[in-house]
Amino acid sequence: MSDEKQELKDRVMAELENVTDPELGVDIVNLGLIYEIQLDEKDNVTVIMTLTSMGCPLAGTIVGDIKKALSELQEIQEIGEVEVDIVFTPPWDKSMMSRYAKLALGVADN
């Protein structure tokens, strides 16, 4: 991957740190919900992510918040279309959270 593509992925990830899980109050990056950022040749973005539970009632809200967070990068034509793929393999667990998220939620760091 080129340095330019990696920098763009890093900018996408930085924007995703502004998206908060409405139930937990911690951003989706620190929660460990983002599995991968894919960029195609036209810089269309696919965010591959999971949720803390399969039955998460706020999945639509989180997807909408992701698209809104990345809309600024779209407006300045750094990225193209945004797609969000929600997967449940591997399943999310608390070990995927950053130290920050664990501290914010009072989860023991095992």
pTM score: 0.92
CATH number at residue 16: 3.30.300.130
Query: For residue 50, what are the CA distances in angstroms to 4, 30, 43, 75, 86?
Result: 26, 13, 22, 26, 5
Beta-bridged to residue 49, according to DSSP, are 34, 86
Say if 101 falls within a structural domain: no
Residue 5 has pLDDT above 80, yes or no: yes
Say if 103 falls within a structural domain: no
Residue 15 confidence class, pLDDT cut points 50, 70, 90: very high
Backbone angles phi, psi at 12, to 5 degrees: -60, -45
Percent of the chain with pLDDT over 90: 81
Residue 29 has pLDDT above 80, yes or no: yes
CA distance 30 to 39: 21
Tens digit of each residue's pLDDT (9 = 90 or more) over 70-93: 998 888 888 999 999 999 999 999
Number of H helices, E strands in the chain: 3, 3
Say if 99 falls within a structural domain: no
Per the structure, the count of domains in the chain is: 1
Say if 95 falls within a structural domain: no
